Amino acid sequence: MLARALRLSLLLEVLLYLALAKYGFDASSGVAVLVALFGVLSLRAALVALIYACAWTWRSPAPRLSAAQALVMVLGEYAAFVRSFVIVFPFERWWMGADRLQPHPAGAIGSVGAPRHRRPPVLLIHGYGCSRAGWWWLRPRLEAAGWTVATLNLEPVYASIDDYIDPLVRRIDAVLGEAGAERLILVGHSMGGLVARAYLQRFGGARVAGLVTLGTPHQGSRLAFLGFGENARQMRPGSPWLQSVARPPAVVETTVIYSPHDNFVMPQACLELPGTESRVVGGVGHLAMLYSPRVAQALLVALERYGRPRRQEEHGA
């Protein structure tokens, strides 16, 4: 659904640029194509610049970046924006094959001579306005580290966050059944972390070994005032929905990974979730988290923590 909408909007945008160049300025076909490419890239650059301007206006105190570091961060976020919404998301089927849910051989871990166990599978939950294609870069890196990884699409795109709980329940059932596991680890990027928390609030953590959130607006974001749909309204700071999901607090161990320079969640203090472990990865943008080796490493560390068998957890091993 999202991929089709993105393809259509991209096609209409390109046709508009081509028509303006060819019929408005009598440009040749080759020049018209270059103008269309420039238009597509320039519009995304303007959007990224606007979002960063808002993030700077409503920023939280954070470690200062040098001019070079800030430039690298902004260019990385721009590249992630173009890669996601122009190349990967509209053509999800080209980039994202079916999830491989058979337990990975490397998922059995243990010391020499000790009983080996399988790691729980990992279920990746995408954020607002995105799709499972958002995990195109991270999924194979988790699999290469020995994890069985699953994804899902949350649709409709602009529904209430509560409407995503039942699809998540069905996907959890399917993943645990196909992977032959009792529990799994939930990983949510942006709004995906809130979807996971809403699920845990309703059903508890009996089937969840741990939760990891990446750039999740746990306390909302001012940018949500510019968003569409009920889910955007729910992510506004102080919204009744955010207040309700905070009671009771998280029922499973949770690791919050975030950037103090996030450009979508503003002020950035809204990324924090009291009572949980935090891992700060500075100098990376909101979408760029999905393509960051440093974020991937922080995520792998968190997954190892929740991949221990229950007996070890209970005895603090």
If one compares 25 and 266, the residue with the highest pLDDT of the two is 266
What is each CA distance from 69 to 65, 151, 225, 283, 288, in whole angstroms? 6, 32, 29, 7, 14
- Residue 126's φ and ψ, nearest 5 degrees, are -80, 175
Residue 42 included in any domain: no
If we measure between CA atoms, which residue out of 187, 193, 198 comes closest to residue 245? 198
Average pLDDT over residues 8-17: 96
pLDDT > 90? residue 62: yes
103-159 pLDDT, tens digit per residue, is 645 445 443 333 345 799 999 999 999 999 999 999 999 999 999 999 999 999 999
- pLDDT-based confidence at 251, cuts 50/70/90? confident
Residue 177 included in any domain: yes
What is each CA distance from 274 to 1, 214, 291, in whole angstroms? 36, 15, 26
Do residues 172 and 184 make contact, with C-beta atoms less than 8 angstroms apart? yes
If we measure between CA atoms, which residue out of 118, 102, 95 comes closest to residue 175? 102
80-91 pLDDT, tens digit per residue, is 999 999 999 999
Do residues 248 and 225 make contact, with C-beta atoms less than 8 angstroms apart? no
Percent share of the chain, pLDDT over 90: 86
pLDDT > 80? residue 248: no
Residue 317 included in any domain: no
Structural domain boundaries, residue 189: 95-106+117-309
Residue 44 included in any domain: no
**Roughly how many angstroms between the first and final C-alpha of the chain, as a whole number?**
45
pLDDT > 80? residue 314: no
pLDDT score of 116: 42
262-311 pLDDT, tens digit per residue, is 999 999 999 999 989 999 999 999 999 999 999 999 999 999 999 876 54
Helices (H), the chain: 2-19, 29-57, 67-82, 92-95, 138-144, 165-179, 191-203, 229-234, 240-245, 293-306, 310-314
Residue 202 included in any domain: yes
Distance CA 132, CA 151 (A): 6
pLDDT > 60? residue 249: yes
Query: CB-based contacts of 98: which residues, under 8 Å, 6+ apart?
Result: none
The amino acid at residue 35 is V
Match 């960051």 to its residue by tokens.
292
160-213 pLDDT, tens digit per residue, is 999 999 999 999 999 999 999 999 999 999 999 999 999 999 999 999 999 999
Residue 219 included in any domain: yes
Q: What's the helix, strand, coil split of the chain in %, to 5? A: 55, 10, 35
Distance CA 222, CA 244 (A): 19
Q: CATH number of the domain that 102 lies in?
A: 3.40.50.1820
Cis peptide before 248 (omega within 30 of 0): yes
Handedness of CA 18, 23, 25, 29 (dihedral sign): positive
Domain count, the chain: 1
Residue 89 included in any domain: no
Residue 43 included in any domain: no
Helices (H), 20-57: 29-57
pLDDT score of 309: 65
